[in-house]
A and B are shown apart, each in its own frame.
Chain A
Amino acid sequence: MSLRAHLAWLLLLSLPVLADPPPDYPFVGHDAGMAQAREAGKPILLYFGRYGCAWCDHVNRKTFSDPGLKQRLSDNYALIYVDAEGGKRIRLPSGERLTEGELGARLGAFATPLFVFMTPEGKVVAKIPGFKTVADFQDYDRYVRGGHYRKQTLLEFLGSKP
């Protein structure tokens, strides 16, 4: 194998596993994240990814690589990653047991990535599909942690931005 081929192979090995949660973020599985949110009283950011998903890869590289966003989300949210096609079993706050894939069907995760913001008790506040920028996530953070979801939809909130 040539030196160039060796380097290419090493580069390939060094890439993060695709469509997993972004590296160095404290994303955990569904049940652990729900428990963490309840205990800490933190809102939840649930990231639905899909194995091999190009747009998940894109948002991981372009958006979640921002150190400020990483700090903001890691400090203030229980971060949950769910494989939208996964067969792992989870437990909902109601006590119902489902697979990760079935949770995706319930929440309409037909396009990935899908970002679901929830209260610490697991009530859905906003569902946002597709690639989003750092500025987008800063807006969502203000909407969720500012409690604006109690009076406005996310679209109303974003539309009323100065």
Chain B
Amino acid sequence: MRARLCLVLAVFSAAAATAAPIDVAPAGTFHHLDASGRQSLALAGGQVALVWEDSHGGAPRCYLGLKAGAETAFREYPLGRGECFDPAVAALDGERFLLAWEDETGINAALAGPAGPGGSINLGAGAHASVAAHPTLGAHIAWNAPAGRWQRVWRASLRVLGTQPRAATPQAADAAPPSDDQGFPALAAGEHGVRLLWEDRRHGHTVIYASASADGQVWSAPMRVSGNPTGRAPGNLGRGTGAMRPAVASFGGGFAAAWLDKRDFLSGYDVYAALSEGAGFAKDGKAQDNFADAIAQWHVAVAGNRRGELVIAWDDDRDGTSDIWLTRLTAAGYSENFTLPETSGPAHQSDPAIALDEAGNLHLAWIERAPGSDSSGPTRLRYTVWPLPKS
């Protein structure tokens, strides 16, 4: 496997070294990078923003870490009230970010600049928030909240007034009454509009749905993105295989969606992806290579930039322990999977969050546990930057 890795890196030619990893927060206290859509890391005008949850204060709390590109440490700002989960972040404008999280008051949103977060607004009960913004298409938030018997995905546009957002009336992602649960929304905004993906159980198993907006105001009817088959197995059993935890990013002139997909149910979840085609998405396919097929993949994230580079990241333990694995979209399709020295090896590296800057640098945050420690062992929250080699 290592020989193959060397070959892959050689193919990408003269790979530049990653920056020395930064420990973002105090070690040891259940760090989580669990934003819906894996939107835990964002870049705006030379500023880096990372949001996470940990329990170093004795209970789960959310934090925002901010640093200028060249700085070697993050400044830490607490978010939310009481127990707090799943903070998400997206670039807004200039050096500002759009934030969302869930705490004891429900779903909240706020802005943050280099000096830290401003005042927040509350959008009511809910979980698993996602945010996206674009200079002309506006700022948007999505989350899931109970609607009678089911969880339903909601979205709202946000007006930015000074240091605080203001939310328009929330709208259901699907105007039709839900017939089963929806959840884990993921938003992205780019030159060609805004995309919202979510998990949907309307077919009796979990599949990925999407809605598209060209102007940030009018949204399309829901469309199915994942091709995991719906239908009973022989013997009238089940209703279909699973797909979960969608992530979406804008890149070049379009969007890329990625998720975990169990259509090959014997080997666990695989990484599937689909690229935008008009207002929808083209037929999906595996983004991982064949060496990943017999291994379960987890925590898929996707990042792109305006010059058209696209990276998908996840964790799997094909080399014996969990490592962060990556693939790049090339002219020939998705590259062979590769990892980086800092995010692989005997330690347990997982839960990647990624962002790509316009110079082609991959910013990567992840959770790490010492070799041999069990899943409740002490964790570190780490961050590094890797200049993408020319493909």
Contact B376 A55 (CB under 8 A): no
A87 touches B183 (CB 8 A): yes
Q: Are B235 and A108 in contact (CB under 8 A)?
A: no
Residue A95 lies at the interface, judged by CB distance under 8 Å to chain B: yes
Q: How far is the CB of B183 from chain A (nearest CB, A)?
A: 5
Nearest chain A CB to B232 CB, angstrom units? 7
Q: Determine the distance from Cα of A84 to Cα of B245 in the docked complex, in whole angstroms.
A: 12
Q: Which of A69-77, A98-106, A139-147 contacts B (4 or more CB under 8 A)?
A: A98-106
Residues of B within 8 A of A101 (CB): 244-245
Interface members, chain B 40-65 (any A CB < 8 Å):
55, 60
Q: Which of B90-98, B262-270, B277-285, B352-360 lies at the binding interface? A: B262-270
Instruction: Say whether B152 faces chain A, with CB atoms less than 8 Å apart.
Output: no
- Whether A102 contacts B34 in the complex (CB less than 8 A), given A19-B238, A52-B206, A94-B376, comes out as yes
Q: Is A158 an interface residue (CB 8 A)?
A: no
**Would you call B232 and A54 a contact (CB within 8 A)?**
yes
B236-293 at interface with A (beta carbon < 8 Å): 237-242, 244-245, 262, 265-269
Nearest B residue to A15, CB-CB: B236
Contacts A51-B206, A105-B298, A111-B266; A96 near B238 (Cβ below 8 A): no
B347-378: CB near A (< 8 Å → 1, else 0) gives: 00000000000000000000000000001100
CB-CB nearest in chain B for A111:
B268
Q: Is B85 a contact of A18 with CB atoms below 8 Å?
A: no
A57-B238, A99-B34 known; A51+B127 contact, CB < 8 A: no
Residue of B nearest to A105 (CB): B298
| Alpha-carbon separation in the docked complex, A87 to B143 (Å) | 12
Q: Is A30 engaged at the interface, CB distance under 8 Å to the other chain?
A: no
For B183, list chain A residues within 8 Å (CB).
87
User: Is B138 interfacial (CB 8 A cutoff)?
Assistant: no
Q: Are B265 and A111 in contact (CB under 8 A)?
A: yes
- B204, A18: Cβ atoms closer than 8 Å: yes
CA distance A111 to B294 in the complex (A): 12
What sequence of 0s and 1s flags, for each residue 216-245 of chain B, a beta carbon within 8 Å of any chain A beta carbon? Answer: 000000000000000011010111111011
A-B pairs with beta carbons under 8 A, tally: 83
Within 8 Å of chain B (Cβ to Cβ): is A42? no
Say whether A58 faces chain B, with CB atoms less than 8 Å apart.
Answer: yes
- Given A58-B235, A87-B183, A110-B268, are A52 and B242 neighbors across the interface (CB < 8 Å)? yes
Nearest residue in A to B350 (C-beta to C-beta)?
A105
Q: Looking across the interface, which residue of chain A has its beta carbon closest to that of B29?
A: A96
Specify which chain B residues have a CB less than 8 angstroms from the CB of A51 in the assembled complex: 201, 204-206, 239, 242
* Partner pick for B239 among A18, A84, A106, CB 8 A cutoff: A18
Interface residues of B in 326-349 (CB under 8 A from A): none
Contact (Cβ within 8 A) A96 B30:
yes
Q: Smallest distance from the beta carbon of B296 to chain A beta carbons, Å?
A: 3
* Cβ of A18 to closest chain B Cβ, rounded Å: 6
Which B residues from 165 to 211 make CB contacts under 8 A with A? 183-184, 199, 201, 203-206
Do B233 and A54 touch across chains, with their CB atoms under 8 A apart?
Answer: yes
Q: Which of A55, A58, A97, A105 has the most CB of B within 10 A?
A: A105
Question: A87-B183, A97-B85 given as contacts; is B241 within 8 A of A52 (CB)?
Answer: yes
Which residues of B20-37 are within 8 A (CB) of A? 30, 32, 34
Q: Mark B95-137, 1 if CB is under 8 A from A, else 0.
A: 0000000000000000000000000000000011000000000
Q: Which of B30, B85, B244, B267 contacts A85 (CB 8 A)?
A: B244
Chain A nearest CB from B281 CB (Å) reads 21
Q: Is the CB of A85 within 8 A of B206?
A: yes
**A55 and B238 contact, CB distance less than 8 A:** yes
- In whole angstroms, how far apart are the Cα atoms of A57 and B98 in the complex? 43
Alpha-carbon distance between A105 and B245 when the two chains are bound, in angstroms: 12
Q: Which residue of chain B lies nearest to A84 when distances are taken between CB atoms in the complex?
A: B242
Question: What are 19 A-B pairs at a CB distance below 8 A?
Answer: A18-B239, A19-B239, A50-B205, A50-B242, A51-B205, A52-B205, A54-B233, A57-B237, A84-B242, A87-B127, A89-B85, A92-B376, A96-B55, A97-B55, A97-B85, A101-B244, A101-B245, A106-B375, A110-B268
Q: Which 3 A-B pairs have the closest CB atoms?
A: A110-B268, A52-B205, A54-B238
- 13 A-B pairs besides A51-B204, A53-B242, A54-B239 with CB distance below 8 A are A18-B204, A51-B239, A51-B242, A52-B203, A52-B239, A53-B205, A53-B238, A55-B237, A87-B151, A87-B183, A96-B30, A97-B83, A111-B268
